[in-house]
Amino acid sequence: MADQRTAPDFLAAVSFEWDERKNLLNLTKHGIDFDDASEVFYGSIILHQSDRNNEERWIAIGSLEDRLITVVFTAARGKMKKENIVTRKWGDRRKGKTDWARVDKLTDEDIAKAVANDPDAAPIDIDWSDAVLVIPARKKAISIRVDEDVLDYFKSQGEGYQRRINAVLRSYMQQKAKPKKRA
């Protein structure tokens, strides 16, 4: 690997956006829901940039439900038309509709055929020598006192409340670390 980074370097300000119609096509074609696919970014991934069709594309390989999967994505950064678009902010994790039993039954031949018939599939003859290993930042267990209503709010948002608290603290830290603008 040419480089190694921590997740906040590359993904700190990430939100996930996708066209729900494309998600349904992907679910039909490959069996994996985009809500589930976005989970790969919460662990270590191997990341490779691919500028296919003059579009900045990224290929991420990571673990999902104890399976190795590939996610191809673009850095749209709010350029998508708003109709049928689903947006998930970093930390807004939701269970998708992936049928894992169906995915587990796929043979290598089934996967190769699906990729060959997918116009969005990335070529498989990629030079991975300039890929980047992205590792999530290590967390440190601490004891912290917060107001009860604050904790109740974060817990009421569902699983992952500690990650959301961390995301809020990281955002605060990043805003305070920005250089002050002079008038």
At 153 the pLDDT is: 93
The angle at the Cα of 80, spanning 32 to 55, to the nearest 5 degrees, equals 80
pTM here is: 0.61
**The two three-digit tokens of residue 99, written as one number:** 């049928």
pLDDT in single tens digits along all 183 residues of the chain: 445 444 444 555 456 788 888 889 888 888 889 988 888 888 888 888 776 667 777 888 888 888 888 888 876 655 555 656 676 766 667 788 898 898 999 898 988 888 788 776 666 667 777 787 877 777 788 999 999 999 999 899 877 788 788 878 877 887 888 777 776
58: β partners? 49, 73
pLDDT number for residue 6: 46
